[in-house]
Structure 1
Amino acid sequence: MTSIARTFALSLGVAATTIFLIMLGIFISRYPTQEREFRACRVVAAILDRAAVIEGKSLTIRSTSALEELKADSPNLWYVVSSGDLVSEYGSERRPALPFAFPYHGPVGSSVFDTLDQTSTFCLAAVQRGSLQLAMMVGQHQVRFGRIARNLLFRNAFSIALVALAFAVTVAIGSALAARFVSRGIERVTRRALAIDPSAPQGSISLSGVPFELKPLVEALNRAFGEIDAYIRMQRRFLGNAAHQLRTPLTLLRAKIEDVPDPALKVELVRDVRRLTSLVSAMLDLARLQNHAIEKRPIDLAEIALDVLADFSPSALDAGIELALEQAGKGPIPVQGVDAAVRSALANLVGNALIHAHGARRIVATLGHGSISIYDDGAGLPQGTEHKLLEPFQTGNSTGDGSGLGLSIVREIMAAHGGELVISSAPGCGTTMSLRFPEAAATTGSPHLDRRVEASFRHSGFDADASSPR
């Protein structure tokens, strides 16, 4: 996209150049009459000088294109050209009485004089040709404006160039300052837009200090922000209300399932209701997190990790998978957060590794400064699926188990805490999922990976909520 400042500077430069040329044309066209006659005299003298040929005792005015053009434009043209005693005359019948005799032996130069009857003017010019002097008297000449302008520009080229350079420098400085002013105005609006807190209700850009030209744009952006904010809040309210309303009939349905006489059907119904209950709970948690309804307090990440691993120990033992906890040092690892939310996030990651890490024999939780990583030595993530599975209702289980909200909730939990979910994986080399809080100095990854696919909490992952404790 074209730069506004560059376009503005270019447009101003073109406009200024046009104005300069127009002013120059007006200046030439409105030249004082006497000065214009003097310029015309110089042009005519130059034409005759180039046409005059002196050969021995002969003075000839040869026909040139410029002279023929002058004769065509001046039907009453007359001139007398002399050099010493040699004289060549044209239009003598139209020549009035002159105050100078032939041949002319005055000083070199050119000027405009009145005829003796004071009814017209004529041009007198004398030029030096070696040892000879060529004198010219011309009257009733009509010189085209273009020739006068070219003569003026040629004779004053240096002065005009200096004026044009000064004008160009002034325009360039003005363009740069104006472009900088426009850029700074846009930068101020951009900084105010970036300063809007996404969690604040009805976030908008303040109009105070905004340049007048940008106010319509800012007002349009504020309207758009308001409509987007209202739509998001409506969606969140709908999600939360739906989850709340569904819990009661699910509880009643679970109670009625106890009266089903067929054991096989009862087991199947219980499993379906459990999955539906898990989905509703996940939707409610997601709605709550998206509304940022959390109050962070100091919690011990090491204690939470130990409790979650202890909860999953029976499931890991039944699956033949070893659970391990590694910590660089001893003592608590404090972070700012909500205990229940962090436990839910970590349980999602551990349950995800137990259920979906195909071929895994070992799951290791590694504690670092402000972070915890869950590594499994399973088959890893398939290529091309990383950017899909963190989205809601996207599951990496081909059997259809899970609601596809587990890692979405983990992502929202970490976003609400100001942290991120980082996933590193490679096919055949296992997967590492890390919860990194603002206190973390660096991302913890698995040393066993040949290739690392690092994704933030908004981009990749797969589902684990089917077996996560709520």
Structure 2
Amino acid sequence: MKKVRTRSLQWILVRRLILLQAATLLIFIVLCAAALWIANPRLLIDNEAAVAAVKDAVDRDEDGRLIVRETEELAAFRKGFPNVWYIVRDRSGESVRSGTIPDVYTKNFGDLLGEADHATIGFSDKDMRPEAYIENAATKAGTVQIVAATQSSRQQTDGLEINISATVEVVRNPDGSRNWERALPAIAIVIAILLLPIILVMGTTTLVTTPAVVRRSFAGLVDTVRQAARIDIGTRAMQLPVKQVPQEIAPLVHAFNEALARLAQGYDRHNRFLTDAAHELRTPIAILRTRAELLKQEPQSARLLHDIERLSHLAQQLLDYQLLDRPSDQRQIVDLRDLVSRVAADFAPLAIEAGYDLAFEPSPDNGHVEVNVLQIERALANLVRNAIEHGGGCGTITIAIDGSGGIEVRDEGPGIPPEERENVFEPFYRLQPQSRGAGLGLNLARQIALLHDGTIRILTGSWPGARIRMELPVRS
């Protein structure tokens, strides 16, 4: 089955933010262009503003002579620009002048400037003469030529002067109307040239900053994921923290915590049921054993006793499974040799009764382990009982330990086929369906070993019988 590839939230955000920024910028420019198109504004610089103020003040007196009245607008402009000067000429050559006018502007500008609607007159950067604005304007006194500026010399600039001008001229038809069919491609190219650097800068910034922002925003979620990865059957009651989780993810974490709580409750109910059932079985099994022992010694009564023993052993193993829920704080440091010797002494009568010799081979070195003693005793008991039940009823059962925390239980029976050496650790799995065992002993032993960060495996070799080795971490 092909593994589904999940999408990265980080790169989804990066792509969408870049597209959103580009779309927002484009819409903003379109709206600005539409507003300018509708309003058709004219932006005036200082010199143009001076001409506009003078133009509204041009008039003629009672004798028909050209004059410039001191209107409120012109007076206000003079207050803001005290160095303003201007020249007003009509078609007859009559003129009105005001302010300190540079000599160059007192000359006749010729026919070209006389016919031009408006123009800006400027000089080189090293020339101290100021720029001026000239316009042929329609006034109350008729059409006049107005030349004006806000300063008589560049030395009058207030420290720094910035002039920004932009002229957009659209190609025209012979009748003077604009030819948009030819102009639109050029406008599109200009807009692309202007937008592309901005989009690249914004996109690069987003590409660099968004992953860092996402990682920082989801840092609490990463810690929650790490804690979720540590949840197992022994920590099923754990609840994931939501304090550092983003608000959008918090409902998912809450739902996961509720699911964990429901699973823990169901598991506990299941365990209680098994425990109660096992306890309830022990009483009738004890009664059956007592009554079977009173029967005459016949083959049928012997088989009945074996079956009752099998039931008793199954009930005990079900109770043993409750040991898996013991908390880790109940562990203690013990000498492995003392622990194993007690189990060997307990099972010696049972092994001898079943026809075996029981040997105990201690390690010359003291190996100390930190374990739950009751759990390890039950695991070792299941290994020894397994050897008694499947060892062939003869030979020697050996319990050996070494200084590395290893415990081996050896028998001289038929052994375990190589292809079955993993299956026998599964619950309720038996090599021989008619055997007395319930198929839980090896599974329980493996789970107890795993709880202690240990291992359990079946050794391979040329010796007769089976050798099962359990290894526990030795405390240094």
User: Does residue 12 of structure 2 align to residue 7 of structure 1?
Assistant: yes
Letter matched to residue 370 of structure 2: Q
Cα shift readout 1:131-187 (whole Å, capped 9, x = no counterpart): xxxx9855224414xx64431242465443221211112222342233213432321
User: Does residue 57 of structure 2 align to residue 22 of structure 1?
Assistant: no
Q: Which residue of 2 aligns with 1:335?
A: 369
**Gapped regions of structure 1 (runs ≥ 5):** 38-98, 102-112, 127-134, 442-470
SS at match of 1:13: helix
SS at match of 1:269: helix
SS at match of 2:238: coil
Letter matched to residue 436 of structure 2: D
SS at match of 2:23: helix
Which of 201, 204, 215 is the aligned partner of 1:166?
Answer: 201
Aligned counterparts of 1:162 and 1:35: Cα–Cα separation in 2: 28
Residues 350 and 6 from structure 1, CA distance in 2 versus in 1: closer, same or farther, beyond 3 angstroms?
Answer: farther
Tell me if the contact between 2:231 and 2:238 (Cα under 8 Å) persists in the aligned partners: yes
SS at match of 1:298: strand
Aligned counterparts of 1:153 and 1:431: Cα–Cα separation in 2: 85
Cα shift readout 1:6-50 (whole Å, capped 9, x = no counterpart): 33333333333433443444455555479899xxxxxxxxxxxxx
SS at match of 1:372: strand
Residues 250 and 320 from structure 1, CA distance in 2 versus in 1: closer, same or farther, beyond 3 angstroms?
Answer: closer
SS at match of 2:218: helix
Tell me if the contact between 1:300 and 1:335 (Cα under 8 Å) persists in the aligned partners: yes
Aligned counterparts of 1:21 and 1:360: Cα–Cα separation in 2: 91
Task: For residue 434 of structure 1, report the CA deviation from its aligned partner.
Answer: 3.2
Q: Could you tell me the TM-score, scaled by structure 2's length?
A: 0.60
Aligned counterparts of 1:250 and 1:322: Cα–Cα separation in 2: 28
Aligned counterparts of 1:139 and 1:427: Cα–Cα separation in 2: 105
Which of 229, 250, 253 is the aligned partner of 2:264?
Answer: 229
Aligned counterparts of 2:462 and 2:175: Cα–Cα separation in 1: 102
Task: For residue 248 of structure 1, report the CA deviation from its aligned partner.
Answer: 1.1
Q: Which residue of 2 aligns with 1:383?
A: 419
Aligned counterparts of 2:269 and 2:316: Cα–Cα separation in 1: 19
SS at match of 1:213: coil
Aligned counterparts of 2:379 and 2:177: Cα–Cα separation in 1: 102
Which of 174, 177, 180 is the aligned partner of 1:143?
Answer: 180
Tell me if the contact between 1:313 and 1:323 (Cα under 8 Å) persists in the aligned partners: no
User: Does residue 435 of structure 2 align to residue 400 of structure 1?
Assistant: yes
Letter matched to residue 236 of structure 1: N
User: Does residue 381 of structure 2 align to residue 347 of structure 1?
Assistant: yes
Q: Which residue of 2 aligns with 1:295?
A: 330
Residues 361 and 271 from structure 1, CA distance in 2 versus in 1: closer, same or farther, beyond 3 angstroms?
Answer: closer
User: Does residue 303 of structure 2 align to residue 268 of structure 1?
Assistant: yes
Task: For residue 244 of structure 1, report the CA deviation from its aligned partner.
Answer: 1.0
Task: For residue 243 of structure 1, report the CA deviation from its aligned partner.
Answer: 1.0
Q: Which residue of 2 aligns with 1:49?
A: none
Q: Which residue of 1 aligns with 2:318?
A: 283
173-182 or 353-362, larger mean C-alpha shift: 353-362
Cα shift readout 1:412-464 (whole Å, capped 9, x = no counterpart): 43345x333331555978865333334369xxxxxxxxxxxxxxxxxxxxxxx
> Number of paired residues?
350
Letter matched to residue 6 of structure 1: W
Aligned counterparts of 1:438 and 1:336: Cα–Cα separation in 2: 8
Residues 27 and 262 from structure 1, CA distance in 2 versus in 1: closer, same or farther, beyond 3 angstroms?
Answer: same
Q: Which residue of 2 aligns with 1:131?
A: none
Tell me if the contact between 2:457 and 2:469 (Cα under 8 Å) persists in the aligned partners: yes
**Identity across the alignment (%):** 23
Tell me if the contact between 2:424 and 2:430 (Cα under 8 Å) persists in the aligned partners: yes
Q: Which residue of 2 aligns with 1:420?
A: 454
Residues 14 and 326 from structure 1, CA distance in 2 versus in 1: closer, same or farther, beyond 3 angstroms?
Answer: farther
Q: Which residue of 2 aligns with 1:304?
A: 339
Tell me if the contact between 1:380 and 1:428 (Cα under 8 Å) persists in the aligned partners: no
Tell me if the contact between 1:373 and 1:433 (Cα under 8 Å) persists in the aligned partners: yes
Tell me if the contact between 1:424 and 1:432 (Cα under 8 Å) persists in the aligned partners: yes
Q: Which residue of 1 aligns with 2:404?
A: 369
Aligned counterparts of 2:454 and 2:30: Cα–Cα separation in 1: 68
Report which structure shows greater RCO (CA 8 Å, sep ≥6): 1
SS at match of 2:334: strand
Aligned counterparts of 1:3 and 1:375: Cα–Cα separation in 2: 54
Tell me if the contact between 1:236 and 1:291 (Cα under 8 Å) persists in the aligned partners: no
Tell me if the contact between 1:348 and 1:410 (Cα under 8 Å) persists in the aligned partners: yes
Residues 199 and 355 from structure 1, CA distance in 2 versus in 1: closer, same or farther, beyond 3 angstroms?
Answer: closer
Letter matched to residue 140 of structure 1: S
Q: Which residue of 2 aligns with 1:257?
A: 292
Task: For residue 217 of structure 1, report the CA deviation from its aligned partner.
Answer: 0.8
Task: For residue 314 of structure 1, report the CA deviation from its aligned partner.
Answer: 8.3
Tell me if the contact between 1:321 and 1:361 (Cα under 8 Å) persists in the aligned partners: yes
Residues 350 and 21 from structure 1, CA distance in 2 versus in 1: closer, same or farther, beyond 3 angstroms?
Answer: farther
RMSD between superposed Cα atoms in Å: 4.4
**Gapped regions of structure 2 (runs ≥ 5):** 1-5, 43-113, 117-134, 144-167
Residues 24 and 124 from structure 1, CA distance in 2 versus in 1: closer, same or farther, beyond 3 angstroms?
Answer: closer
